[in-house]
Structure formats: structure tokens, C-alpha cells
Structure 1
Amino acid sequence: MKDYHISKINVEGNKVVSYEAGGIFKITQEFIDDFPSGNGDITSLLKINPNVQFSNSYQSSKTPGEIDPANISINGAAFYQNLFNLDGISMNNDLDPASNNPNSITDIPGRSQGISIDSSLIEKIEVYDSNVSASYGGFEGGVINVTTKNPSKNFSAKLSYQTTSSAQTKYHLYESDNEVLLNSSDSSNEPYFFKQFIRANLSGYLGKHFGIIGSFSSVNSTIPLKEYIPSYKKQIQKNQYRNIYNYFLKTTYDGIENLNLSFSLTYAPQNNQYFIKNAKNSEFSILSGGLQGSLKATYNFKSLTFVNNLSYSELKNSKKSQENYFKGWKYSEEKDWGTPGKGSNEGAWGNIKTIQRTIEYKSDLKFEEFEIFKTYHLISTGLVLDFGSSYYQRLEDTFSGSSLSAIKEGGICAEKQYCSNSPVQGEKSSIWKNNAGQYFKWLNVYKAGKINLDNFGYGFYLQDDLRIWRLSFRPGLRISGDTYMKKITLAPRVALAFDVFGNKNTNIIVGINRYYGRNLLAYRLYDGRTALQSTYKRTNEKTTWDKAIISQQKNNTQFNRLKIPYNDEFVVGITQRFWQFEGNLKYIHRNGKDEITKVSSKIASLPKDPDYTTLYYTYTNDGKSVSDIITLSFSTIKPIEFFNIKQSFLFGADYSNIKKNYNDYASSLNSNAFNDVDVIFDGKIIKYNSLPPNDFNKPYSLTFTTISQIKISTFDLTWTNFFAYKSGYKSIAINGVQTSSKGEELDNYQTFDFPNTFNWDARIGLKKNLWGKNMVFIYLDIFNVFDNLNIISAKTETIKKKNTALIPTYQTGRSFYIQVGYEF
């Protein structure tokens, strides 16, 4: 048995590696192969971790055709404040991870996990959720370390095909949503879809010391929708598409004594193709993902290991549109592709490119253990230097007509692009009576332009894994800074473990740590974006745009030099091993401070600025959060064998109490949140910022994972089950005002409670050995086996201006994924 260290526990042969109180959760390649993972993304595998919460929109029955990896929160932190590492190099996309609206004319949907990696490429995943080593920085939640596969010593190959569709999926919908779904014209409701997954890889050594592995995988989803809503005369079916491709190459060389070299290259572009409903020539694509390459050299000296990693990454969020204009016409004989009284739209959102390029150098020195006065030390230190260049660029002028007006009888258009003399039909308003056509009074121009940001960042850490008697003590310090925020941060990390009986079976863990968050590029790239916009205004159809009055927009988002957000953590836990089992109990308290939020000048009572519009927005450090999390896990250390069966399992439970006064950096604080006023909540007066959050807020959950392996002759049968019981979802909505006992009129917030949910996912795998290494296999994944009606989220609707009602969204019902393949 290996010595116990605070940083990690490695256990050989375990299908489900146990969750240890020190804060590391390790998922092996064997587990990845046996677990039902749906779209095959990283985050879908993390639902077995009790410290990870998913967004309420995860697995929505309205959008089963989507393939984006889910957003996750670790220990109450914002979903964009996790660090995603691929082979030790960050793959975070910091361009605008909170943006989620593809139909914005200025913003582009983003996500924190910059590259969507297929699970078939992964050797292991390590999740650091507490007591995180000082070697990691740039996060407030946790660290997700993804290690790709290495070349196999003997030549091997694997090819597989997987599919699922709406025909293999049960939909659960609220009664009023049925017709909306079937006649849907946008991606918020997807009545049909077809997904297919193709995976192939080759691996082996060319000679004695040079190994190579190459891999390709693709995830493709086709989503048929209606181009026009039912009330339009044209009912044309049109497909939207979602495509992710993974191209992967990795080489290793160990022909020089004590030196190991590896080179890896990952190219993972994603293309989500949309169209604007009720509009012709409206197709556009959201392009994301990117390229990441690294060269790693590890040299083993006599008393230390020296690791160097040089990497380059290029990540993007871009928009490519069919047209660079949008016009919302009324129906007429000339504009006849719509419906009378409903309009005839045309055009799209123009072309925007946002790019994040980073060159990074990382080095780590890990000394061998040495003794000083009967104390044993494992010192490690490291340095990271990176240079990033990012920009937001509108590639060409984009135009949008607004303030549509009627042309009076006898009026003649001075130009034909934003004016039509074809009489409008089907409009009941008196404005359009006896009209001679229509014209746009305003022309909004989004000018071609570029906003740049260059940034040099640095980090240094030093820590010591110290052992004396039964006590392990790990003090560490991380120093970080960059030229973007112009702040230097000091993040102390202190962890302690006590081996109670000296047999490494019972260990008590304590830790006090500080984690500084990511400096998102979005803050700077928002700044100045509105200044690219101008509006041309005219009073009649006889005026050409060159004679219109120009109103130049000014920047409405000020970027100030902000403090770096951080989380202070206290953690205490106990790990107990006995026979072939391990149990862990842990308590985590997190205080999030200086969180970055957006607030209007009016709410913050800021002075008017002559260089800005009357109302402008600024970023502040007024966000805060408090999180208390208790987790319990119990698992097998190695499979239990009886007869011809190997059995592994993992049980996880968590309780979370999370309070925060903000949603994300892109959502503006309202006056209640900014001033933290008194409100009435469930009949009691509390502070506004004590209201529970509306997402990532399920108070408790229970999960149980089992993996059974049975060998019968030349057949290998695997049966995996994942059971999840989650507490009811609470939705908070304002429901008028109420007079308090002190005579104050306070906003009254109402809780809408939803029932607890239960879900069972399963994978049944069968492998058949043909001869030698040749093998065929088939996997059947079944999600929501019992087809339970689980509510995952809801939206509020006001009825008759008084009562507030909730319209629920359900989890996808029973669905099947089928995979077949061949390996040799």
C-alpha cells in the first residue's frame, strides 16, 4: 500500500475510484468506457461527484437535440469559475462564457469549457474540489484535469458508431407546450432530432521508443424545424445542425535515459447552424471550439523531477451569417413570403469574430522526499508564464431597419433597400389605411471594427508536503498576476491530514485555502462595443440615408480596474478504510467575495458622464456568496469478486446551502440586490441577498452507481446502473408587495416548490472475442429507465396582473443510445 498524502490517493484496479476527503475525485478510463455518458462529453461523467451541481436546464425535454457540454458549479461557485485543463494546459474560453443567446446582433454564445472533448480520447479525469494544491490557480470552484490517452505498446485500433433520435426518446411536456413543440420554429423547442457519433483511433509504437496515437470523433445532430410559425402561409421544414469534430494526435518518445518527451495536438471545431424563424435568407452559424497543441518534456534527475510544458491554444466564439442586414417588413405583394398581418422578415446578424490566442510556458520542480530532524519533506515549486491576444471584431458593417412607418398616398420611395411602395396588406391599425407602402425611419448601423486586448500573465507557487509522525502538513502559497487587471494576488493554501491509528485506514483532513478567480476577457471586450453603433434617422420616405440625421452611440459599458474575485475555504473531513471499502465525510464552507457584477449608473446612483449615454453600465465587485456543503461517499476500493462476477459501486450524498446576490457577470444587479434591502420571503422579513438562488441550487442529492462485470466463455458482459435522487427545485418569484409589521411596504417573494426527482440511467455492454485481439462490442444506454416525470425548471407567468403561476419544464423521458464497434 502506498503512503497516504494529502494531495491524492491512487488505487489500482478500482472501477469507480473512491472520493477522498482531501478533495480529489478520479475517474478512470475503465469507468468512462462502462458509464452511460449520453453525448460523450466530460461534464456528463461528473454527475457522480457529490460536489458538482448541474444547471436546471440540463437534460431538458424541450431541447434533446443539443450537444453542448453542460454548465457545472462546484461548491457553489459560478459555472465559469472552474479551471478546465487538457493534458495540464488550460482550455478555458474566457471570451464570454455567460452569453447564451444565439440571436443577439452583438453577442455570441460562449461556454467556459472552450473545447468539447469526446470521452473516447480520455485516459482519466481528476476533479479537485477542495484543499486544492497551490500548483493550480485561476478558479473559484474547482479544477477539472483531463488526461488524454497515451499510445499503446502494441498496435491497436478501434472503430464505433452510435446513434439516438427523437424516435428513441420519450418527451415530457406541459400541456400547453405540446402544440408549441410540434410546430416549433426555433431551437428552444426541438420536436425531432437525429444524432450520430463516429469514433475511430489507431495506436502503437513505431520502433522501440516512439509511440503515436491518432483519433477522430464526431458528434452530429440534425434538428428539423418549421421555417415559419403556423399562422404564416408557408410551412417549410428546415433543418438546424449541431456538429462537433475532434481530431487528435499524440506522440511520445523515451529513447533518451531519464527523459520523456510528448507532443499532443487537438483540433476540436464546433459549428452550430441556426436560422431566424419567420425570415428568409436568415441562416447563420455559431462557430466555437478551436486548436490546442503542447510539447512536454519530463526529465528525472537523481533527486528531482523537472517538467516543462510549452503550449499554444486558439479558441473562438464567432458568428457567420448569410446576410449582413435584418429587416422586419409588413406583408405586401412585394414582401409576400410571410402572412398578412404577421409580417415578412429577412436577413441575419452579420459576421463577427472573437478569438482568444494564448502561448503558455509551465515548469514544475518536484523534489524527492528528504529528511530533516525526523521530518520528511516533499517540496514542489513551479512557474507559469503566458501571453494572450484576444479580440472582438465585426468584419463588415451590419444594418438593421427599425421604426417601420406607412407611406402616405402619393409618396414615392427615394431608395429601394429600406423602402417599398407596395401597399401593406392585412394590418387593422388605422395607420395603415390607404397606405402607399412602408419605409424604415431608422437605420441602425453596426460598424466594422475591432476591440483588442493583449495580456501577459504569470504565476508562481511553492509548497511542501511535510510528514512528522502520523501528521501530514501541506503549506503552500500561490502568487499570480497579469497586465490586464494589474493586480498581484497571494493565495495561501494550507492542508493537514492526521493518520489516527498509524495504519493509514483512518485519516482526518483539515484545510484553509484561498482561490482567486479567472479574469474573464468579456469585461474588456464588452467595453467599447456599443461605440461601434450609430443610427441614421429620417422623417419621410423621400429622404435618402446620406441626408439623414446621424446619432452616434457611445459606449454604455465602462470597464474599471476591478478587484480579483476570490473564495475563502474551510474544509474538514474524515476518510475511513476497511476491508475493500472506503468512506468519506466532508464539510466545506466557502465565502465568495468581490464577485464581479454589472450594474447600471441609475441603480448605483453614479454621476452622469458626458462621454457616455445618459444610462451606462459599469462593473463592480458587489457580488458575494456563502456556501455550506456536506458530502458523504462510500465506495469499493477494488471490485468485489464472487463466482464469475466482479462488482464495484459508489454511493454519494450531499447537502448544500448556497446564498448569493448575483447570477453572473453579464446580468445587471437590480436595486434590491445592489442595496440588499429588506424583503418578505415566505412570510418572514429577510435581506434580499439571503434569497436562495434560482439555479444550481438543489439542496441535497443521493446517487448510487454500480458496475457489474460478468465473463462467460468468450463474452464479457457489463451492466452499469446510475441512480440519482435529487431534492425538489425551489423557484423564487416576486408576487406583489406586502405591508410588514412595521408598516413598511416590501416586495413579497413567493416560493414555488417542486417535487423531488428520481432518475435511473443504465448501460448494458457486451463484448465478444473473435480471435487474438479482435473483438466486437455493442452498448445499449438507457436514460431515465422508469420514464419518470421529473421537473427540472420552470418559468413564471403573471395571470391577470395579480397571480403568479409557474410553467414547468420536464426532464427528457426514457431514451436509448445504441453503439456498435470493432477493435483489434
Structure 2
Amino acid sequence: MKFLHMLPAASIVLAAVAFGEEKVATPVVEEKASEQQQKNSVSNKQCAKDDKQCLKPIERIKVVGQRINPISQSSEGSYTLDQKLIEDYNFGNGNLNDLLGVLPGVQYGESAYQSGQVSNIKPPEVSIAGSYGQQSGYSIDGINNNSKLNTSNATADRNLLQDVVGHSQEVFINLQLLDEVTVYDSNIPAKYGQFSGGLVLAKTKNAEQKTQYGFSYRQTAGSFVEYQRFYAPTFSGDDTLPIPDFSKRDFSAYYSTPLNEQSGISTQLQMLESKESFDQLGTYRQQVQKNYNAMVKYHNHLTANDLLTTSLLYAPFDADYFDTNALNSDYNTTGGGLVVTGQWEANRDWGDFDSTLSWRNSTNNKETSSQRLLWAKAEGRNWGEYTDSSVSAEGGYGDIEKIQDTIAFSQDFVLNAIRHRWGYQQFNVGYKLEHQHTQFNRLEDSVIYNGVVISPDINCNGYTVDCVETRYHRPIAELEAELGRPFDFTNAEDVLLFDQNIAQTGQYFQRRQVSPQSNAEAKVNYLSLYIEDEIDWERLTAVVGLRYEYNDFFKNHTLSPRARLKFDLTEDATQAITLGINRYYQGDVASYKLNEAMTPMREEVRKVLNNRPGQWEAAKLTSGYGYEYKDTKTPYSDEITLAYRAQLLGGTLEAKWLNRKSKDSINRVKGFNETGQSVLFGGNDGSSEYERISLSWMANFDNQHVQFNLSHAVSKVDAATFDGKTQTINFDGSRSTLNFDYDDSELVFLRTLTADGNNRDALITRNDLGLERRDFNRPIVANLGWGGEWGAWRLSAAARYNGKQDIIYATNQFESYTEATTICNGCAPSKREYPLYIAGERPAFWLLSGSIKYSFDIFGKDKVVLSFDGENLLNKRTYQIAPKTTGLELGRRFWLGISYKH
């Protein structure tokens, strides 16, 4: 409706009908203003009483009707959720991603349904248009909120060697701060870039015309949750799987007031805290997570045509974790950050423009033990038996500090529409400059000990960390004195007595991988320009745009053509088709530059002479791999979309076909540089394809809303994207060796079921595990949502169906691998241990969530609201536990809350 200020009154009525508004009052014209006066008027901005630019009289047009439903009525592929819908679908932690799942084409990663998610306060990652979480764009009040510190590894494991568990978003914003959320899955305007997936735009609230304040408190706990237990055939029947004990609290407060007729200020504070007890190898211990949101926002109408807005958002995150299957594995992670923004919106005779300056700082840090040891599951080091693991794990991966600083300035110009005899034409142009500085600092050497050797006669020679000697409950001489003879190891009774007397079996490590203390940084500058030309001719609206981007890391000049078309099939605009052909370039390049700057790990071994381990020395393979990106192209996605929309039963029906082909995806090519060091070169041989068909209907009525959507999606990843085989098979086929200098944290076992019913274990990289996982590739997803308000009661519900899919389960177990070659002269044969994952099929399931709110007035106009928010109300299975394994699944759970509003 951007041209309404130039249309005659009768056209306004038609335009309102076209945009789905049911009731339109006859326009009230107080006095016809000149065209120049209409240009000077500013919509949605207050005029100061003494401002001479606030020209009167002007044409007043009053439109009475219902709010437009979430489905866009333009050629853009967007869905907008207002405050009412945000509040109705706030069932979980109250963060942004919890809300997005009600929209078509939005899918959650597997972590969203795991039992640990009930206590986790990080938002679950979501996929929009088949992309990974970090491939979509996130924005708060026009400021980019994407974290370049995150990698896809964070979705697979929480504790990593070369990384800190991150998230696709820099800060986690609470829903109570938001005025509206707009989600794009297709036909995204040329104004937006640096993503190859979808786009999420969050807009925070401004101060109202009257002073408002209030607070709210919500809580859930272990007693509010039902779990479902599942047991492996080998699980002991002497005990039952323990239920986690946790509590999670959500407190928020706000204050909003006008300072005068031109300005106002709003402040909000929110705290989300979770405490949960986990069974760590037979001992219950507590994990604690905290997330804060503090925001101050000030606006000032400098003139009738100028609005200044400044804001400060501080959202830190802190968590204390531990590995449940490893001793001495405590680690603390901190994240989140600070966003400072200044925005100037102005209206001039020639059009509107926005100028925005922002500074963002975020961190992703970890503090933990610097040594990770995979002991043999032997006497004295046998805690791995508790989880049926082949090893007993201990320790952590060392302290890491990751920092991102970003300064950005942008200007967007919307020129006045040009009236032609055949219709209207309007140009939008803009640019953005951004400087980003990211750092990866390993604060200490991190050592992974793998390849243990059991040696009852070992003398540790002063080594205390990576070697243990055999210990006995009673001295051997004392037992032999009681026997009256030395032990006879051909006698079964003597052997049994000797074994029962062992308190600890001697073992030592003869190899280790050291990731040295190091500092890496990446400074990347971005430049983007765009232009869009929108043409309205009778029933046709066509938008053609072009976006130019440049970053000085890849040093690629990219052009993104954007074109979309909308044609009204009927004169009253109740039916329309839209067509789009677009290209989106990936924006996350800082992580690649950090990889290139990191110091590779080094391999060390030691010999044993006379049962005494010697000093650590460089192995034959002295170092791991590095990264190099030369002549690497920027990955991109090409999109074709076709949609049909119709006004039906008071709402909007949409049938959409969407096809995305990702090209030039960066894959890793194994090789060597000029010095002979192993290098993973950045190639552009990767590709993937996503195709979706969806049917949606959404409607807003006087006191309620209804929405339904059904999506069928297929995602394919080309084989060239994968790292491929990690092993080279010998000529006799009996043993194998690694075909590259992988570090031990990079490799995992994936178990699949062969056609003859046997298990096949393949050693693959974590990169390939993520591609095999296809975390978001659910073929069929359906949503049904409803909400309404009747007097003091407000009710809402949402049902979600997830179709069956191929999936990969984590087992918390390890499998052994023996290399064919010896690691050093004089070294004993040894095995290396890697985590085990299982591929399987997850059945379909569906979940029902709902909310009940009751409000009553106190102290005149003040209001108190009592709330109940529940998830999985019918206690359905989510099939998160692999077949024939032991674990917990989340069942029914709910929150209770109270809020006060003035």
C-alpha cells in the first residue's frame, strides 16, 4: 500500500479490499490538500503542534477493518506475526525460534525435541527453505544478528576440540521485546543480503503514548514434566533410568513512557535461568544456564519529517556444563553480546530515507580442562562400564576465546512513485558498509590422548597425567606368604585370586595430539549496493532488482538478480499468482578466514624402554592439516518460486512451489602445500537442491485467528560436497590406514544396517556426519494453529505433525580403530577410539501445544494475567532414542505464569 498517499479516495477503497480488509468506511475528506502538501505529510509519525511543516488541512482517510493476516499480499514470500500471534504461540522458553515453527517451510533441528531441550535455554536451530541455521539471515530493528562465530558442528556435539558451541544468532532476544516478526522464505527483496537461506526480521516495541509498566514471571520444573523411559536389551534390570530434576524460571519487567509530545523511552529486562541435575557416571550433578535480555530504546520526532531512534541491547549467556559420560569434564561457556544502534528516518519532497549506524560485540568462550584422555576400560579406570562404552573418557579440550566485533553503516532510499499514463513506477536504492573483526584464541595447549596400551608392569617414570601403574589391594608378597608359595598362573584359582587383588591395571598412552596455544584473527570488509524498480500496471506488479556485494577475503564481486511478479486474476484482487526468480549469496566468510589462520595440531609419540615411558617426541606425521582458500568463489543459491493466493472464507489461501539450488558450495579437498604439510583446500564442487510444495490458509477474525499449513519437502546433497573415505584399504583387504592427517576430534564412526541385516561401521569426518544427518530434512510437516479471546479468557493451541525421516542417533559410546602401520619404532600396537553414531529411520509423530490465560482488573485499570502454557499435551513419543538403546524422551510439560500490567 505504499502508493496510497497518491491515489484518489475511490482508489483507496479498492486498494483496501485488495489487501484483504473486510470493512472499509467511506473516506472523510476534510479539505483537499495540494499534491505537494501530501508529499510533505509523514505517515505514522506525530507532528509537533508548533511545527510549521505540519501542514493542515490534509486529506484524511479513515479505514475501518480487520488486521491483515500473516500471509503477504504483495509479491514477496513473507509471513508477518503481530503481537497477538506472538503472545498466542509463546509456549516454550519465549525466544524467537520457538515461535517460527508455526509457519510453512520452517523446520526444527533434532535438538529441539531431545530431553535436554526442556532445560536448555538456547533457542533450537531452525531451517528456512531447506537451509542450515547459520545460512539464514537474522535481523533486529534492521541490524544483522548473525553470528560468524558459529559452525554447523555445534548442532552435533556440545563439547568440541576446535570450537565452542555457538548459535546462528549473536544474541537471543525475548519475545516480550518484540512488536512484530516477519519471516521470508522466498522472493526476498534486493535490500537484504549475506544469506543463502531464509530471512527473519524482528522489530522491537517503541514507547506508547501513555506510561506503561509491568512484570511477568513464568516457571517450569521437573514436577511439571513427564518423561518416557526406554531401555536397551543389555540394561540391568536391577535399577530404573533416573529422571532429571530441574527448574527453569523466566522473569521480565518493562517500563515505557513518553518524555514529551515528540519523544519517549522504553526499557525492558528479562532473565531466563535453568538448573538441572544429570547423572554423571552414577553421581547426580547440577548444570546451570542463564540468559539475560536488557534493552533501552529512545525515540524522538525531531521534526514532523524526522525520527531519531537509538537503542542498546545487552544479552549475555552463561552456562556450566559437564559431559555425562566423562570424569573431570566440567566446562563453562559464555556468549551473547551487546548491540548499540542509532537510526534516522526522514521524509523529504523526493521520498523517504533511513540511515542506520550500529556497533555489535559478541563472544563465544569456553573454560575447561586442557587434557582429554580415553583410558582403556580396565580395573581402576572402568567407569566406562556405566554407559556400556569401550573406553573411560576423562577431561576436556582446553580454554578457547572467540570474539566478534562489527561496525556497520547503511542508507536506504525510497523515492516517490512516478505517475505514468499507464501506471506507477517506484525506485528503491541503498548501500551498506560493514567492517567485521573476529578472533579465535586458544588460551592454552590442548592435548588429546588416544591409543592407550595396557601394561601391568609399566613404571610411569614420574608421569602422572597420562600413565597409571598397577596397584594391588594387598601386597603380592603378603598373599604369597599366606599361600606359602609363589603364585602359579597355570592354576585357575591362583589366577582368580590374583585378578581379584588388582585395584588398578597399569596402562599408558604412547601417542597424543597437541593443539598449541595460538591466536587467529580475521578482518573482513563488506560492501553492498542494491537497486529495485517496482512497476504497477493495471493488475500487474513487477519488481526487478539487482544486488552487488564484495568482501575482501574471497575478493569476489557478486551480482544477485532479484525478480518477482504478481498478477491479480480478478478485478477485486481476491485471487493472484506470484512468480519469482532470485539469487542469494552466502555471507558467512569469517569462519573460513579463521580456519586459515589457525595453527595445525601436532602429533607426538613416545617409546617405552624397560617398562619406562620416555619423553614425548614428534611422530612421523608431525602435524595435522591446515586450511587454504585460494580462488574460492562465494557460494550462492538460485531460487524459482510460484504461488497462488486467494481470499477464502475470510482468510488467505496460498499454494506455493519453491525450488532452491545451492551452487559453488565450499567443499574440502585433501592435498599438500609446497612444504609438504597436509592441507584442506577450499573448493567449490559442492551443491545441493531443495524443493517444497506447501498449502497454507491463515485468517484473522474479530476475536480469533486460525492458520493451517502442510509442506512436503525434499533435500538432496551432491556427493562432491562430502569429504569422502577417510581410509585406504590394503591390497589384502585386511587392514586400513588413514588417508589424511585428521585430528582425533574430527573423526567418528557411523553404523548402518546392510541388506543382509549386519552392522557396517564406517569411519567418517564430522563434516560428513553433518551432511549425512540432514538435520532438517523432514519430508512432510503440517501445522494447525488457533487462538481467540473471549472477555477475560484468552486461549490458543498449535498442533504439529512431523513425517518420518532418515536420522542419525548419538550413542555416547566409542568404537576402536587399529591402523595398519606402526606410529614409531619400538611402539606397541594400539587402538584409537572414536564416538559411535547410528543411522536409522525415525517414525512420524505429532505434538499438541496450548495456552490458557485469564485476566482480571485490580486498582482500576491495572491488570493481572494468570497463564498456563503446555507442550506435547497428549504425551506423545518423539522417537529421539535410538532402537535398542537406553534413554529418556520428553513427554507432557507445562509452564505456569503470572503478569502484572499498568
Q: Does the alignment reach a TM-score above 0.5?
A: yes
Distance 2:708 2:548 in 1: 37
Contact map agreement 1:790 1:810 (CA 8 A) in 2:
no
Q: Deviations over 1:332-362 (max 9, x none)?
A: 9999999999998764332111111111111
1:512 is aligned to 2:592: no
Q: 1:358 to 1:62 in 2, by over 3 A?
A: closer
Which of 781, 785, 791 aligns to 1:701? It is 781
- 1:800 aligned partner: none
User: What secondary structure, in the 3-state scheme, does the structure 1 residue paired with 2:134 have?
Assistant: coil
Distance 2:379 2:659 in 1: 66
Unaligned residue ranges in structure 2 (runs of 5+): 5-11, 22-64, 475-494, 728-751, 757-767, 810-837
Which of 770, 773, 796 aligns to 1:720? It is 796
- 1:159 aligned partner: 215
1:304 is aligned to 2:368: no
**Structure 2 matches for 1:357-368, cutoff 5 A?**
357-368=405-416
Distance 2:210 2:238 in 1: 52
Q: More displaced, 125-134 or 206-215?
A: 206-215
Distance 1:680 1:415 in 2: 43
Q: More displaced, 541-550 or 241-250?
A: 541-550
Aligned CA RMSD, in angstroms, stands at 4.1
- 2:112 aligned partner: 58
Unaligned residue ranges in structure 1 (runs of 5+): 231-235, 641-645, 673-678, 734-749, 796-804
- 2:158 aligned partner: 102
Distance 2:860 2:504 in 1: 81
- 1:649 aligned partner: 706
The aligned amino acid for 2:697 is F
Q: CA deviation at 1:316?
A: 2.1
Contact map agreement 1:413 1:421 (CA 8 A) in 2:
no
Contact map agreement 1:383 1:461 (CA 8 A) in 2:
yes
Distance 1:273 1:54 in 2: 25
Which of 620, 631, 634 aligns to 1:564? It is 634
Q: CA deviation at 1:294?
A: 0.9
The aligned amino acid for 2:687 is K
Q: TM-score, normalised by structure 1?
A: 0.82
- 1:445 aligned partner: 514
Contact map agreement 2:604 2:617 (CA 8 A) in 1:
no
1:465 is aligned to 2:537: no
Which of 128, 146, 163 aligns to 1:92? It is 146
Contact map agreement 1:210 1:254 (CA 8 A) in 2:
yes
The aligned amino acid for 2:867 is Y
Q: 1:475 to 1:176 in 2, by over 3 A?
A: same
- 2:262 aligned partner: 209
User: What secondary structure, in the 3-state scheme, does the structure 2 residue paired with 1:659 have?
Assistant: strand
Q: Deviations over 1:595-632 (max 9, x none)?
A: 22335x2xxxx5x5453555x43332222222221222
- 2:186 aligned partner: 130
- 2:322 aligned partner: 275
Which of 764, 771, 775 aligns to 2:859? It is 771
Q: More displaced, 27-36 or 85-94?
A: 27-36
Contact map agreement 2:608 2:614 (CA 8 A) in 1:
no
Q: Deviations over 1:677-711 (max 9, x none)?
A: xx99999xxxx9xx997432222233221112101
Distance 1:182 1:248 in 2: 52
Q: CA deviation at 1:635?
A: 2.1
User: What secondary structure, in the 3-state scheme, does the structure 1 residue paired with 2:354 have?
Assistant: strand
- 1:639 aligned partner: 701
Distance 2:305 2:108 in 1: 43
Distance 1:788 1:346 in 2: 36
Contact map agreement 1:15 1:28 (CA 8 A) in 2:
no
Q: CA deviation at 1:86?
A: 0.9
Distance 2:794 2:689 in 1: 42
1:611 is aligned to 2:668: no
- 2:873 aligned partner: 785
Q: 1:662 to 1:773 in 2, by over 3 A?
A: farther
- 2:897 aligned partner: 819
Q: Deviations over 1:225-280 (max 9, x none)?
A: 233x24xxxxx321112221111111111133411111111111112211244666
Distance 1:597 1:549 in 2: 28
Q: CA deviation at 1:413?
A: 2.2
Contact map agreement 1:659 1:693 (CA 8 A) in 2:
no
**Structure 2 matches for 1:163-562, cutoff 5 A?**
163-176=219-232, 191-227=244-280, 229-230=281-282, 236-277=283-324, 281-321=328-368, 323-327=369-373, 347-404=395-452, 411=459, 413-414=461-462, 416=464, 418=466, 423=471, 439-442=508-511, 444-533=513-602, 535=604, 537-540=606-609, 545=615, 552-562=622-632
User: What secondary structure, in the 3-state scheme, does the structure 2 residue paired with 1:36 have?
Assistant: coil
Contact map agreement 2:91 2:871 (CA 8 A) in 1:
no
1:142 is aligned to 2:198: yes
- 1:745 aligned partner: none
Distance 1:528 1:22 in 2: 40
- 2:685 aligned partner: 622
* Larger-gyration structure (1/2): 2
Q: 1:611 to 1:434 in 2, by over 3 A?
A: farther
Distance 1:729 1:435 in 2: 46
Q: More displaced, 618-627 or 171-180?
A: 171-180
User: What secondary structure, in the 3-state scheme, does the structure 1 residue paired with 2:256 have?
Assistant: strand
Q: TM-score, normalised by structure 2?
A: 0.75
Distance 1:56 1:163 in 2: 24
Distance 2:800 2:454 in 1: 59
Q: 1:397 to 1:732 in 2, by over 3 A?
A: closer
- 2:715 aligned partner: 658
1:585 is aligned to 2:655: yes
Q: 1:527 to 1:119 in 2, by over 3 A?
A: same
Contact map agreement 1:639 1:648 (CA 8 A) in 2:
yes
Q: 1:307 to 1:9 in 2, by over 3 A?
A: farther
Q: Deviations over 1:511-544 (max 9, x none)?
A: 1111112233222222353525453635357677
Which of 86, 93, 96 aligns to 1:42? It is 96
Q: 1:146 to 1:158 in 2, by over 3 A?
A: same
Contact map agreement 2:697 2:709 (CA 8 A) in 1:
yes
User: What secondary structure, in the 3-state scheme, does the structure 1 residue paired with 2:313 have?
Assistant: strand
Contact map agreement 1:332 1:422 (CA 8 A) in 2:
no
Q: Deviations over 1:357-391 (max 9, x none)?
A: 11111110111212134331121100010001111
**Structure 2 matches for 1:71-86, cutoff 5 A?**
71-86=125-140
User: What secondary structure, in the 3-state scheme, does the structure 1 residue paired with 2:153 have?
Assistant: coil
**Structure 2 matches for 1:791-810, cutoff 5 A?**
791=879, 793=880, 795=882
- 1:737 aligned partner: none
User: What secondary structure, in the 3-state scheme, does the structure 2 residue paired with 1:176 have?
Assistant: coil
- 1:113 aligned partner: 169
Distance 1:728 1:467 in 2: 44
User: What secondary structure, in the 3-state scheme, does the structure 2 residue paired with 1:524 have?
Assistant: helix
User: What secondary structure, in the 3-state scheme, does the structure 1 residue paired with 2:897 have?
Assistant: strand
Q: Deviations over 1:697-752 (max 9, x none)?
A: 222233221112101xxxx211101122333234599xxxxxxxxxxxxxxxx996
Distance 1:597 1:706 in 2: 44
Q: 1:647 to 1:561 in 2, by over 3 A?
A: same
Which of 846, 850, 854 aligns to 1:762? It is 850
- 1:801 aligned partner: none
Q: CA deviation at 1:70?
A: 1.5
The aligned amino acid for 1:168 is F
